[in-house]
Amino acid sequence: MSTLVAAQAPEARSSSGFRLAMLLPGGLVTFLLILFALGLVLFLAFRGNDGSLLGVGLTVDNFVTVATDPLYWTVTLRSLVIAGLVTLATVVTAYPVAYYLAFHAGRRRGLLLFLVTLPFWTSYLLRVFAWKIVLAYNGVLNSALIESGIWSEPTLAFLNTPAAVVVTLAHAYAPFAILPIYVALDTIPKSLLEAASDLGARPFTAFRRVVLPNSMPGVLAAALVVFVPTVGDYVTPAMVGGPASTMIGTLIQSQFGKANDWPFGAALSVCVMLVILAVVLVARSADRRFGSRT
């Protein structure tokens, strides 16, 4: 994209005043707020906690604790498993929706796209709360099961489980997954599918060999936008998860609240960012593999 721009744009006559005014707001926000703030987290992660704002000394103790204390391993692993399951569930259930939108929706496409993304614009807190209403001991699911005679007694088995966290998050992030997959599917030329069927490919073969590989960039993008907010979430585990589904976001949050150990919380954050960086890099290299195929 940017090379195209460079090749076509006329000789720039931009006054420096114009450039400065146009670059200033975005520059301030991105460099100061994003890069500097993230740099501060990185710096703080290597400090000791003495109750002061920026800590004291220079140490790797925080990371040693994260690496050696089994509590943090358990919670980190659990966060990865839960976020992974949420990502898998969301992407797998979203794919057919995106497929329908791209190939079958016809004139209803615009309306369906809107309906699918609409829940995203409503309060996340309320959507999590809605699941609490559904899953609670005297909640909707239990009362519906008893009213209809399927169950005789309400069960505690729904709420406060890791499964509740997975379902709630898969619901909350559904629109995030549908959109990128739809965009990827929509850019596949229809002639490619016709060519596949003309060459004798059955619909399923055409899907497996043509559609699926070509939509992989969208699938990877979807997986990323679901995984990233999920792995650091602390609201859903607190509301529907119970103690058995404490995630790393909860630990980070409590370090900056109750525990009041900011350097350690910063170190945990750095670890989360490293995990996400690793995931992004894996997704990137996978993306490149699929990209070179087309």
Partner 1 sequence: MKAERAGTKRDGRWLGLYVLAYLVFLYLPVLLIPLFSFNDSIQAAFPLQGFTLQWYQTLYSNPALSGALVNSLVIATVAASGATLCGITVSYMDLYGRSPLAATISGIARLPILIPGVIVGISLLILINLIGLGPSRVAIVLGHILVALPTTVVVMRSRFAAIPRTVREAALDLGASDWTTFRRVMLPLSLPAVLSAFMLAFLISFDEFIVVFFLAGTDPTLPLYIWSQLRFPRSLPTVMALGTVILATSFIIAGTAEILRHRGLGAARRNPA
Considering only residues 186 to 215 of the shown chain, the ones binding partner 1 according to CB under 8 A are 197, 203
Residue 59 in the binding site for partner 1 (CB under 8 A): no
Q: Which of residues 23-52 bind partner 1 (CB under 8 A)?
A: 23-27, 29-31, 33-38, 40-41, 44
Closest approach of partner 1 to the CB of residue 133, in Å:
4
Closest approach of partner 1 to the CB of residue 253, in Å:
6
Q: What is the distance between the alpha carbons of residues 223 and 94, in angstroms, rounded to a whole number? A: 11
Closer to partner 1 by Cβ: residue 63 or 100: 100
- Which residues 6+ apart lie within 8 Å of 44 measured at CB? 54, 55, 262, 263, 266
Q: What is the distance between the alpha carbons of residues 101 and 180, in angstroms, rounded to a whole number? A: 12
Residue type, 164: A
* Dihedral over alpha carbons 38, 40, 41, 46 (to 10 degrees): 140
Residue 103 in the binding site for partner 1 (CB under 8 A): yes
Number of residues that bind partner 1 (CB under 8 A): 95
Q: Which of 92, 66, 68 minimizes the C-alpha distance to 79?
A: 66
Q: Which of residues 230-269 bind partner 1 (CB under 8 A)?
A: 231-235, 239, 249, 252-253, 256, 262, 265-266, 269
Closest approach of partner 1 to the CB of residue 56, in Å:
15
Q: Which of residues 6-25 bind partner 1 (CB under 8 A)?
A: 6, 8-10, 12-15, 18-19, 21-25
| Phi, psi (rounded to 5 degrees) for 242 | 75, 175
Residue 80 in the binding site for partner 1 (CB under 8 A): no
Closest approach of partner 1 to the CB of residue 162, in Å:
18
Q: Which of 158, 157, 164, 165 minimizes the C-alpha distance to 83?
A: 165
> Which of residues 74, 122, 187, 294 is near partner 1 by CB under 8 A?
122
Q: What is the distance between the alpha carbons of residues 87 and 232, in angstroms, rounded to a whole number? A: 13
Q: Which of 220, 230, 116 minimizes the C-alpha distance to 170?
A: 230
User: Which of the ranges 59-67, 84-92, 225-233, 284-292 carries the binding residues for partner 1, by CB under 8 A?
Assistant: 225-233
Structure tokens at 32: 């100061």
Closer to partner 1 by Cβ: residue 83 or 216: 83
Closer to partner 1 by Cβ: residue 251 or 293: 251
Place of tokens 């926000």: 29
Closer to partner 1 by Cβ: residue 97 or 216: 97
- Classify 66 as helix, strand or coil: helix
Helix (H) and strand (E) counts for the chain? 16, 0
Closer to partner 1 by Cβ: residue 162 or 265: 265
User: Which of the ranges 61-69, 84-92, 138-146, 208-216 carries the binding residues for partner 1, by CB under 8 A?
Assistant: 138-146
Residue 171 in the binding site for partner 1 (CB under 8 A): yes
Residue 173 in the binding site for partner 1 (CB under 8 A): no
Q: What is the distance between the alpha carbons of residues 222 and 91, in angstroms, rounded to a whole number? A: 7
Residue type, 45: A
